[in-house]
Structure 1
Amino acid sequence: MLIGLMAGTLLATAAWAETAQQARMKSCNTEASGKDLKGDARKAFMKSCLSGGAQADGRAAQQQRMKDCNAEASSKALKGDARKAFMKSCLSGKKD
């Protein structure tokens, strides 16, 4: 029974690690797209980002994006669900 519990714990840990890596890949891809990177520049950025080298830069960029999106939502006088939808779109980097 103890072996089964340990195997289950290892599988759960492996599944979490995949999810964390997938989340990092998604975040790095979104950031690279937001910077309009192509070719070798994108490859270099992705390598750095996925290894964690761009984490601090990514946080600063995300904070700036949040400030910019908030300012734009306020200038459009968006409230409630309209603001929420705008912020989701703006923060994901999608253009309307």
Structure 2
Amino acid sequence: MKKLIALLLVAFSANAVYAADDCAARAAEKKLAGAAKNSFMKKCQADSGAAPENAECAMKAKEKKLAGAAKNSFMKKCSADAAAK
């Protein structure tokens, strides 16, 4: 089961990286900066079906029924901990 989750995370990460690169290139073409760029990137990645940076952390946050600032804080810490492994 852990191997399956690891494989899914790798697949989602690859998709997210590709989507982020594509969206960043499109934002550069449009010469966006600041809030306009952030808004465009968020919408572009959502439209492209990019997975969250860390699907496992997202699942844990959902299990804990976190929302808003608590979820953001949890996701940031969880992603940092996962990157440190």
In structure 2, runs of 5+ residues without a counterpart are 49-85
2:7 matches 1:15: no
The alignment partner of 1:51 has SS state of helix
Deviations 1:18-64 (A, max 9, x none): 11011111010000001111111111111111111xx5xxxxxxxxx
Give the alignment's TM-score, normalised by structure 2: 0.51
Q: Give secondary structure in 1 for the equivalent of 2:37.
A: helix
4+ long deviations beyond 2 Å: none
In 1, distance between residues paired with 2:31 and 2:14? 25
The alignment-based identity, stated in percent, is 23
The aligned counterpart of 1:35 is 30
Kindly report the root-mean-square deviation, in angstroms, between the aligned alpha carbons of the 2 structures: 1.2
Structure number, greater radius of gyration: 1
TM superposition score normalised by structure 1: 0.46
